[in-house]
Structure 1
Amino acid sequence: MSSSLFRKKSLDKITADAAAGISDSHSSGLKKVLGVKDLTFMGIAAVIGAGIFSTIGSAAYNGGPGIAILFVITAITCGFSALCYAEFASRIPISGSAYTYAYVSFGEVVAWIIGWALILEYAIGNIVVAISWSGYFNNLLEGFHIHLPGWLATNASNAQLGYEEAVKALAAGEAPETMTKHAKLGYDAIMNAPMIGTWKVILNVPAFFIVMLITWLAYIGIKESKRSTNIMVIFKLAVIVGIIIVGFFYVDTTNWTPFLPNGFGGVLAGVSAVFYAYIGFDAISTTAEECKDPQRDLPKGMMYSLLICTVLYILVALVLTGMVHYSELKVDDPLAYVFDKLNMNKIGYLISVSAVVATTSVLLVFQMGQPRIWMSMSRDGLLPKKFAQVHPKYQTPSFSTIVTGLLVGIPSLFISSGFMTDLTSIGTLFAFVLVCFGVLVLPKIAEGAGRKGFKLPYINGKFIIPAIVLLITFLFRSRINDAFLNIGNEGSQEILFLIFMVIALVTAFYSFIRSYSFIPVAGALCCLYLMIEIPAISWLWFFGWMALGLIIYFFYGKNKSKLAQS
């Protein structure tokens, strides 16, 4: 039983098939058109989106100017993971991202679990991005004096919250024109929505529209998607660089004092918001079969995009907190807000345009990534053959692309982003952890074997990892002691913390015994810590999602698997 659950793909066979133009015993059928520049642009397209245009504000509000330090810390954490992804991408030049990497490292059931978890990052994450796009798009329309009815521009949950806010404002004697946009939209939606029986028809039509448009782009071909992505990236990079240059002329350095107004704890309070700003660089690993030279180009594309985004994030954080006091930045559109406050409304409007472009490019990259993971799972027999179908004309995974469009588009009509941001982060971090640990169990390549492409630098973690874990244990001794003394009364969050400490200590022990490489172990432990800081309610939903996935695997994938039949 256990041997069938953990049966692995042969790394040698995958590499040989890829070299012969075959992917998992199927002709790939995908166009090889992507180079280093295209992959770097795709990485930037995926990373720079809603994060830099919205979540950076709440992070700066908590941490002040010191939020720049958190961007460096998070970039190092993601950098460890990116190096591990690069090692796998160099060794396994086929589509599938962390799913395929887990199949080689840990076996089939873990590969299925991670493939199922990645749906949270690519599909569920795109619902959040589509809803964010809708908000920016509505702001743009209002700039042209075009007003969509409220019931066509939001979802029922947000409309109700806005309506309640508006009712309180009106009861307090506030004039309607001075209410927030959120309150105005919610009030309009609730008061004017048509009825079907007892149901008020409130739908986020712009979110659905952009998902369908992006799905069509992803359907008709990678070359067309590549061109669109590159154009959008050039535009938003030009706008962000312009913001940085113009903004520095309006920086008041007294706003940078104190640099850590709420201490380092305040900086760490922005962890989830800042990590969300980095999600996406791994998406380009799903396009391996469309790369001209994946073993050389994928690692470069990931690292270049991560480096460029980090530099831009740090500079934007410093400009934002220098132009206005950090306490003013708890807004949905911080970049536009600071320029509007300084009466530069045209720049604020240009930022709104850029935000629409930025979120559009994120949608495009993720709508391309999800179908390729399903295609890989289908080739392995874990999903029906239809998911591996490649369009004869467009040479894209056509059926998987349509299913992805519907999976993202339909929920975006009805639901609010809410906790889905946390679900997206937990699924992504879970993938990062398994990729980092997976590098440790990859077979060693013999010296002089003529290996091509990127090679992960080996730094002996025999003493470094145990020393770091012992230091963490010492620094968190009070929290560990309190958690143990009150374990029966503790919330789920502290239990997650204790589990993390156990995993860290076990990992440190094995690092000492087996001289594990420092980079993958550090990446895995950093990502694990970020995971336990995500609210416990999101963990419950995550476990529920995983349970559903395992039911599908045991009733379908386990018996239909290509490895089972061979």
Structure 2
Amino acid sequence: MSRGPGLPAGETAPVEKTIAPGASAERHRRAGIGVRSLVIFYVTSIVGTGILYVPGVTAEQAGPSSLLAWTALAAASYPFAKFFAEMSAWRPDASGLTVMVRLGFGERSAQAAALLLIATYVIGNPVMGIVSARYFLDLVGHPDGPVYAVATVFMALSVLFNTLGLHTGARVQAVCLVVLLTGLGVSVALAAPHMDADRYRPFLDHGWGGVGAAVVSAFFSFLGWENVSTLADDVSDPARSYRRAVRWAVPVIGMLYLSVTAAYLAVPSRGTMVLTALLAAPLGQTGRIVGGLVALGLAVVATNAWVLGASRLVAAGARDGLLPRSLAVTSVARGVPVRVLPVLALCYAAVLGGLSVTGLGDTVILTMTSSSFLMLYVATAAAAIRARAPRAIRRTGLLTLLIALGFLCFGGVGLLLAAVLAAVCAALGVLRGQGRNSA
């Protein structure tokens, strides 16, 4: 190999080529990431913008009883996590849950599910950039500044981070995770003396309908169990690694969400920026600054993990012929889908630009994303039952199916928008199939 331009003597430019699916899976099972890295990616995929922003949304929808929504989702996390972990252990593949849909309902349904999953990632991920932008603008003293423009910059930074490669990214994420989770714990501890149980009264002031709406919004914070399935090609011994990872990840994530939400609901001053509210009580303006910095770091770490999942999904879609095959080009040296990442940056900018022009709030995107994922959970679980997958998958799949259907009953406008998006993806899948057949 010839030395690339600008590289030091003795170093070679990364080779870029499309890696055959079977070869990729076999190689990474021999020398891929393990249990610790999977736990890190689980936690950083799930604990992020949800814990920083969504408790404020659910408090507006359900008041103190929003804690019931978070408790329900913490309990539902284990069936969800176990289902996708068992699925990845059985059929490790970067295309994630669409593998199961293909087994249960056939190629056309799998194509529609894959397109819906990719579209949901592309549309939903920028919410994380918006949260980062809001914390940043608050820190610099311009809370009414250009949120969507700054969010576009944060999304671009996460795209750049993912060019480092999977193993380097995992090490950086691990360091950031330890620092930031410590910050979360300290924030709750400092806020504890300023909490007042009277702020939980009246508890059910928005009724059970409010709790149901809060469940759908809070579900956004628990998205990520399926996100880590997209790393299956890069995991060594998936059967062992995924099963062990969820045993650690589920209780850690559940305790974090419940403790932070309970504390937030009990402090004197609330707002959509949760950590700022927690630290403002004991530390005043200094607490607002510290809380903003911790929150901003946590949001960036979570966004990095979701951009990673999106890049793997788009590359898998290109590999399978749903998207232009040129997007499947991967750097062997770093394991990075080099052509996907700039495309994602452009898509994120387009979504944020659309929000800016139309004036739609990001809460609409949040509920639509949650509803889309709930629909995909239902489809994947039903496919596992229909495909007669191994018993562990069918058992957790049935629980996932029932829970997701229950949550969908409260989808509202978000469910309607998700259904429209799903219909569009199904139509595109049909057109794609017809074009392939005519060729």
TM-score by length of 1: 0.67
Where does residue 134 of structure 1 map in the other structure?
133
In structure 2, what residue type is equivalent to 1:79?
Answer: Y
**How far apart in 1 are the matches of 2:216 and 2:66?**
12
Of 438, 442, 445, which residue of structure 1 is paired with 2:383?
438
Equivalent pair of 1:244/1:319 in contact (CA under 8 Å): yes
The 3 A distance-change label for structure 1 pair 119 and 313 is: same
**How far apart in 1 are the matches of 2:42 and 2:167?**
16
The 3 A distance-change label for structure 1 pair 400 and 138 is: same
CA shift for structure 1 position 369: 0.9
In structure 2, what residue type is equivalent to 1:553?
Answer: G
Aligned pairs for 1:5-20 (under 5 A) are none
The 3 A distance-change label for structure 1 pair 380 and 62 is: closer
Question: Is 1:523 aligned with 2:400?
Answer: yes
**How far apart in 2 are the matches of 1:540 and 1:321?**
30
Question: Is 1:240 aligned with 2:239?
Answer: no
Where does residue 115 of structure 1 map in the other structure?
114
The 3 A distance-change label for structure 1 pair 393 and 87 is: closer
Alignment length, in residue pairs?
A: 414
In structure 2, what residue type is equivalent to 1:555?
Answer: L
State the secondary structure of the residue aligned to 1:274: helix
In structure 2, what residue type is equivalent to 1:534?
Answer: G
State the secondary structure of the residue aligned to 1:398: coil
Spell out, residue by residue over 1:355-410, the C-alpha distance to the aligned partner (whole angstroms, 9 max, x if none). 11121122111111122122222333333321221124322222122222221133
The 3 A distance-change label for structure 1 pair 267 and 403 is: same
CA shift for structure 1 position 529: 2.8
Where does residue 213 of structure 1 map in the other structure?
157
**How far apart in 1 are the matches of 2:375 and 2:131?**
24
Where does residue 429 of structure 1 map in the other structure?
374
Equivalent pair of 2:63/2:206 in contact (CA under 8 Å): yes
**How far apart in 1 are the matches of 2:21 and 2:433?**
16
Question: Is 1:382 aligned with 2:325?
Answer: no
**How far apart in 2 are the matches of 1:392 and 1:35?**
19
The 3 A distance-change label for structure 1 pair 359 and 80 is: same
In structure 1, what residue type is equivalent to 2:379?
Answer: L
Equivalent pair of 1:46/1:365 in contact (CA under 8 Å): yes
Spell out, residue by residue over 1:423-460, the C-alpha distance to the aligned partner (whole angstroms, 9 max, x if none). 21122111211222222133455xxxxxxxxx728xxx
Equivalent pair of 2:228/2:309 in contact (CA under 8 Å): yes
State the secondary structure of the residue aligned to 1:270: helix
- Structure ranking higher in helix proportion: 2
Where does residue 534 of structure 1 map in the other structure?
411
Q: Which has the larger radius of gyration?
A: 1
Choose between structure 1 and 2 for higher RCO, CA contacts under 8 A separated by at least 6 residues.
Answer: 2
CA shift for structure 1 position 352: 0.8
CA shift for structure 1 position 219: 2.4
The 3 A distance-change label for structure 1 pair 403 and 550 is: same
TM-score by length of 2: 0.85
Of 354, 370, 373, which residue of structure 1 is paired with 2:313?
373
Consecutive unaligned residues of structure 2, counting only runs of 5 or more, are 1-18, 357-361
CA shift for structure 1 position 43: 1.3
**How far apart in 1 are the matches of 2:172 and 2:433?**
36
Equivalent pair of 2:191/2:281 in contact (CA under 8 Å): no
Of 433, 456, 465, which residue of structure 1 is paired with 2:392?
456
The 3 A distance-change label for structure 1 pair 532 and 99 is: same
Aligned pairs for 1:492-507 (under 5 A) are none
Equivalent pair of 1:123/1:366 in contact (CA under 8 Å): no
**How far apart in 2 are the matches of 1:203 and 1:351?**
19
The 3 A distance-change label for structure 1 pair 61 and 382 is: closer
Q: CA RMSD in A?
A: 2.8
Consecutive unaligned residues of structure 1, counting only runs of 5 or more, are 1-21, 148-180, 186-201, 446-454, 458-516
The 3 A distance-change label for structure 1 pair 268 and 381 is: closer
CA shift for structure 1 position 322: 2.9
Question: Is 1:353 aligned with 2:352?
Answer: no
State the secondary structure of the residue aligned to 1:427: helix
Where does residue 549 of structure 1 map in the other structure?
425
Equivalent pair of 1:422/1:534 in contact (CA under 8 Å): yes
Stretch of structure 1 that moved more, 222-231 or 255-264: 255-264
Spell out, residue by residue over 1:13-54, the C-alpha distance to the aligned partner (whole angstroms, 9 max, x if none). xxxxxxxxx964554597544211111111111111222112
State the secondary structure of the residue aligned to 1:390: strand
Question: Is 1:288 aligned with 2:232?
Answer: yes
**How far apart in 2 are the matches of 1:289 and 1:83?**
18
Aligned pairs for 1:394-413 (under 5 A) are 394-413=334-353
